[in-house]
């Protein structure tokens, strides 16, 4: 199995079949278990293991990254859980499934009898299949009758989703196929590093037309012809400044603005005082680069503006994304063939995961849970009274810090590593009356649990996912899970039955119910079937019926607002929730690296994926602190400290340090991060806080 993929490798460089593979052994065409690019792959069961082959598909063009090539290594990993665990006398011990499930259900009933239905909470994940996300939301609201459910996608896409909904009336990460990006003459990439986070995506980027906004000179920024390196937390001011230049230089597409938008005059007034010199002083981005950015976008025949976590994971993330949406609208990009605004979704099913009900304020089909018509439609599918469906619940961090929550069931997430202010979240998890975690390894969160339920991996179950383009695709099972292991759908069905609400654990049956529940909603899957996905290589939503072709490109004729027009929304820059001061004089920012994924529960167990925690800092800063390359340093914020080896690099600003967030223990970056929440999206401010660094 080849593991030396570098961005740009072609399908012809895909690995050859291992010598141990037997022709005729089971095979499955499926998709990578990691990011939302959902690269296509073929799995083949051989005598010595499972072989991974890259498969031709529009997003990855036959290539895979290191994580994809090694994804099958976890299928027979010695850390696999194959038996339920229950906590007795402070320690976890093996148990039977009936014992474990009875303990869960008895605990739920006792807690709800004592503290009310909402005292039992559910926490999901953006990597769960559409069926599992749907089933989890239904389980919470029908079997548990609790409003307390959210998922880790709140930490990922919520700001972009909120901005998209208020500008366009609908949120789909990319409202056009990823191939449109490859055809664009200019691409503005704000707060994304796909060369490390989703390497096959860089095949769709032309460095000559690429402009990257990032406080670090990342691998993606090095590809670009223009790199804007702002002070952390100032992207909103940058976006307003770019729009100011577009207006004052006469580069606004007036015909488009007049015909297809509303609210431009208010935004023009809001950005009138963001002249280039002021933006340069605040952001550190030279005036010449500001002008060059706008001129390239406005002068391109086809142009795309993309945002990602670097712009979104802020206490003002919704407004920051809105500033760049306003820029795209002023230039006439959204809804124009070959151009547009989009968001690079992060988690494998980050798009579908937020469409079908595991988000605190949503019902299936991307319906609002407080909409009476939506409640009536979904209640009819579920066979319940609309009044019995609970209302909106707290957002992810609020859920994970609420004293009213006495029990938590976790599926597909590891908040002990991934949540902001993680030490406090860990203490909170330890303090619950009942913590239940379904996972295939003993993650840091599972290790705290009262009950651990071993579940199947991606190649051991069937289902659908929705990639970053809004394309619904199939995940196909290669082999059954190990004896003693159940799928998440089976776990939810077992728990539901014990709670008196029988449901199906069959993925096709659940998908057909999901289709009915989503019918007529913004994310309408009613016309999407397994047969269509197989025949067409995926189907884009919305697809309301069997005769509908699906919707690869949205907003071509109208936006999803009542009047069909996109909305400009005025936004004002404000400082980060926590700015550097005498005690904490530096900016800390966090992110991902090439070989690791999310909380690292999977990738840290793959021997072929090298990596260790580090603190990246500029050589000038290191010299002032007396820190040597590779020497241990401690980063401290008002929430705690973390220690890791120093990595000196002139790719980062001298006032900023960077840590990857994949690691646990003493190097856990999210011990440090600020849980200050965006008032609209409830996104925590992962990407900037005040810090100090000392030699350890």
Among the candidates 315, 344, 373, a domain finishes at 344
CB atoms within 10 A of CB 170: 18
pLDDT at 204 over 60: yes
In angstroms, the Cα distances linking 22 to 71, 145, 325 are 20, 50, 52
Provide φ and ψ at 674, rounded to 5°. Answer: -95, 125
If 0-12 CB within 10 Å is exposed, 13-18 middle and 19+ buried, where does residue 1 land?
A: middle
pLDDT in tens, 311-329: 999 999 999 999 999 999 9
pLDDT at 9: 36
pLDDT at 8 over 60: no
- CATH number, domain of 24, equals 2.20.25.90
pLDDT at 48: 80
Report whether 39 contacts 473 (CB < 8 A): no
Domain-embedded: residue 93: yes
- CATH number, domain of 246, equals 3.40.228.10
Domain-embedded: residue 423: yes
Domain assignment of residue 26, given as a range: 11-74
Instruction: Indicate whether 174 and 253 sit together in one domain.
Output: yes
pLDDT at 109 over 90: yes
**DSSP structure class, residue 395:** -
Q: What residue spans of 4-157 are helical by DSSP H? A: 66-69, 97-115, 130-138
**Nearest 5°: CA angle at 93, between 479 and 403?**
100
- CATH number, domain of 640, equals 2.40.40.20
Q: How many domains does the chain have?
A: 4
Q: How confident is the model at residue 191 (pLDDT cuts 50, 70, 90)?
A: very high
Domain-embedded: residue 516: no
Report whether 686 contacts 588 (CB < 8 A): no
Q: How confident is the model at residue 346 (pLDDT cuts 50, 70, 90)?
A: confident
Cis peptide before 357 (omega within 30 of 0): no
Instruction: Indicate whether 340 and 373 sit together in one domain.
Output: no
Among the candidates 31, 51, 74, a domain finishes at 74
Domain-embedded: residue 539: no
pLDDT in tens, 267-287: 999 999 999 999 999 999 999
Determine the Cα–Cα distance for residues 103 and 93; give it in Å rounded to an integer: 13
Among the candidates 344, 376, 401, a domain finishes at 344
Instruction: Indicate whether 209 and 330 sit together in one domain.
Output: yes
Counting residues of the chain whose pLDDT is more than 70, the rounded percentage is 96
pLDDT, averaged across the chain: 95
Mean pLDDT throughout 228-242?
98
Nearest to 211 by CA among 313, 309, 297, 314: 297
**DSSP structure class, residue 157:** T
Determine the Cα–Cα distance for residues 562 and 590; give it in Å rounded to an integer: 39
Q: How confident is the model at residue 309 (pLDDT cuts 50, 70, 90)?
A: very high
First to last CA, the chain: 40
pLDDT in tens, 465-480: 999 999 999 999 999 9
- CATH number, domain of 361, equals 3.40.50.740
Q: How confident is the model at residue 5 (pLDDT cuts 50, 70, 90)?
A: very low
pLDDT at 25: 65
pLDDT at 463 over 60: yes
Instruction: Indicate whether 178 and 263 sit together in one domain.
Output: yes
Determine the Cα–Cα distance for residues 42 and 427; give it in Å rounded to an integer: 42
Domain-embedded: residue 468: no
Q: Which of 43-57, 584-598, 624-638 has the lowest mean pLDDT?
A: 43-57
Instruction: Indicate whether 168 and 317 sit together in one domain.
Output: yes
Instruction: Indicate whether 182 and 310 sit together in one domain.
Output: yes
Determine the Cα–Cα distance for residues 2 and 72; give it in Å rounded to an integer: 12
Q: How confident is the model at residue 540 (pLDDT cuts 50, 70, 90)?
A: very high
The DSSP string of 255-309 is HHHHHHEE-HHHHHHHTTT--HHHHHHHH---HHHHHHHHHHHHH-SSEEEEE-H
Domain-embedded: residue 463: no
pLDDT at 30: 97
Instruction: Indicate whether 324 and 247 sit together in one domain.
Output: yes
Q: 42 - beta bridge partners?
A: 29, 53
The DSSP string of 401-412 is T-TT--EEEEES
The helix/strand count (H/E) of the chain reads as 23, 30
Nearest to 414 by CA among 405, 403, 422: 422
Please name the helix (run of DSSP H) or strand (run of DSSP E) that holds residue 382, with its range, or none: helix 372-382
Nearest to 207 by CA among 235, 237, 185, 176: 185
Instruction: Indicate whether 142 and 194 sit together in one domain.
Output: no
Determine the Cα–Cα distance for residues 399 and 354; give it in Å rounded to an integer: 17
Domain-embedded: residue 208: yes
Q: What is the dihedral of CA 361, 173, 325, 418, to 10 degrees?
A: 60
Report whether 379 contacts 389 (CB < 8 A): yes
Domain-embedded: residue 20: yes
Nearest to 356 by CA among 177, 493, 510: 510
Determine the Cα–Cα distance for residues 671 and 445; give it in Å rounded to an integer: 14
Determine the Cα–Cα distance for residues 181 and 187; give it in Å rounded to an integer: 7
pLDDT in tens, 62-76: 999 999 999 999 999
3-state secondary structure of 188: strand
Instruction: Indicate whether 146 and 295 sit together in one domain.
Output: no
Report whether 314 contacts 237 (CB < 8 A): no
**Nearest 5°: CA angle at 35, between 356 and 124?**
40
Count of alpha carbons within 13 angstroms of residue 363, beta-carbon side: 28
pLDDT at 106 over 50: yes
Instruction: Indicate whether 267 and 414 sit together in one domain.
Output: no
pLDDT at 47: 78
Instruction: Indicate whether 302 and 237 sit together in one domain.
Output: yes
pLDDT in tens, 511-527: 999 999 999 999 999 99
Q: Which two tokens stand for residue 162?
A: 């909120």
pLDDT at 11 over 80: no
The region that residue 169 occupies, defined by phi over 0 for left and psi between -120 and 50 for alpha, beta otherwise, is left
In angstroms, the Cα distances linking 534 to 6, 176, 539, 542 are 30, 21, 9, 18
Instruction: Indicate whether 195 and 299 sit together in one domain.
Output: yes
Provide φ and ψ at 117, rounded to 5°. Answer: -60, -40
pLDDT at 481 over 50: yes
pLDDT at 49: 87
Mean pLDDT throughout 2-31?
49
């Amino acid at each position: 199995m080849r593991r030396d993929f570098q961005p740009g490798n072609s399908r012809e460089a895909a690995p050859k079949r291992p010598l141990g593979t037997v022709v005729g052994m089971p095979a499955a065409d499926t998709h990578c278990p990691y990011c939302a690019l959902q690269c296509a792959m073929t799995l083949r069961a051989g005598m010595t293991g499972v072989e991974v082959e890259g498969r031709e598909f529009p997003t990855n063009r036959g290539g895979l990254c290191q994580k994809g090539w090694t994804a099958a290594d976890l299928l027979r990993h010695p850390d696999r859980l194959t038996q339920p665990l229950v906590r007795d006398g402070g320690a976890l011990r093996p148990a039977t499934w009936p014992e474990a499930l009875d303990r869960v259900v008895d605990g739920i009933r006792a807690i709800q009898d004592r503290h009310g239905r909402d005292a039992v909470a559910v926490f999901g994940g953006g990597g769960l299949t559409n069926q599992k996300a749907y089933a989890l939301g239904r389980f919470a609201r029908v079997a548990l009758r609790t409003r307390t459910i959210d998922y880790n996608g709140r930490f990922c896409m919520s700001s972009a989703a909120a901005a998209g909904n208020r500008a366009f009336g609908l949120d789909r990460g990319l409202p056009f196929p990823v191939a449109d990006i490859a055809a664009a003459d200019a691409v503005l990439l704000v707060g994304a590093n796909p060369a490390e986070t989703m390497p096959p995506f860089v095949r769709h980027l032309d460095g000559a037309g690429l402009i990257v906004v990032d406080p670090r000179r990342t691998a993606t920024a090095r590809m670009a012809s223009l790199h804007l390196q702002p002070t952390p937390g100032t992207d909103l001011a940058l976006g307003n400044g770019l729009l100011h230049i577009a207006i004052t230089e006469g580069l606004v597409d007036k015909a488009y603005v007049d015909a297809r938008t509303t609210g431009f005059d208010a935004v023009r007034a809001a950005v009138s005082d963001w002249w280039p010199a002021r933006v340069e002083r605040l952001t550190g981005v030279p005036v010449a680069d500001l002008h060059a950015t706008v001129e390239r976008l406005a002068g391109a025949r086809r142009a795309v503006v993309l945002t990602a976590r670097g712009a979104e994971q802020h206490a003002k993330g919704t407004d920051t994304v809105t500033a760049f949406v306003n820029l795209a609208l002023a230039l006439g990009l959204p809804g124009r063939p070959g151009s547009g605004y989009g968001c690079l979704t992060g988690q494998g099913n980050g798009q579908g995961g937020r469409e079908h009900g595991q988000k605190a304020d949503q019902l299936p089909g991307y319906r609002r849970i407080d909409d009476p018509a939506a409640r009536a439609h979904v209640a009819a599918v579920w066979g319940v009274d609309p009044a019995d469906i609970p209302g909106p619940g707290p957002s992810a961090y609020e859920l994970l810090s609420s004293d009213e929550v006495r029990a938590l069931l976790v599926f597909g997430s590891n908040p002990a590593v991934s949540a902001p202010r993680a030490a406090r979240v860990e203490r909170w998890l330890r303090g619950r009356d009942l913590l239940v975690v379904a996972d295939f390894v003993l993650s840091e969160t599972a290790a705290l649990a009262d009950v651990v339920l071993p579940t199947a991996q991606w190649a051991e179950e069937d289902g659908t996912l929705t990639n970053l383009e809004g394309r619904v695709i199939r995940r196909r099972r290669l082999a059954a899970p190990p004896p003693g292991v159940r799928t998440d759908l089976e776990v939810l069905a077992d728990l539901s039955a014990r709670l008196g609400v029988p449901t199906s654990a069959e993925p096709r049956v659940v998908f057909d119910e999901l289709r009915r529940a989503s019918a007529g909603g913004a994310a309408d899957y009613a016309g999407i079937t397994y047969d269509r996905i197989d025949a067409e290589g995926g189907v884009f939503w919305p697809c309301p019926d069997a005769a509908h072709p699906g919707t690869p490109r949205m907003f071509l004729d109208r936006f999803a607002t009542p009047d069909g027009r996109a909305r400009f929304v005025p936004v004002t820059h404000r400082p980060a929730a926590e700015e550097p001061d005498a005690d904490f004089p530096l900016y800390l920012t966090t992110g991902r690296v090439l070989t690791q994924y999310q909380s690292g529960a999977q990738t840290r167990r793959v021997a072929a994926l090298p990596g260790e925690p580090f603190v990246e800092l500029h050589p000038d800063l290191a010299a002032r602190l007396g820190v040597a390359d590779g020497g241990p340093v401690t980063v401290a914020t008002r929430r705690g400290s973390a220690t890791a080896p120093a990595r000196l690099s002139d790719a980062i600003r001298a006032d900023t340090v960077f840590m990857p967030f994949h690691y646990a223990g003493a190097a856990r970056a999210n011990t440090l991060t600020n849980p200050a929440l965006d008032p609209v999206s409830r996104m925590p401010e992962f990407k900037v806080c005040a810090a100090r660094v000392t030699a350890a």
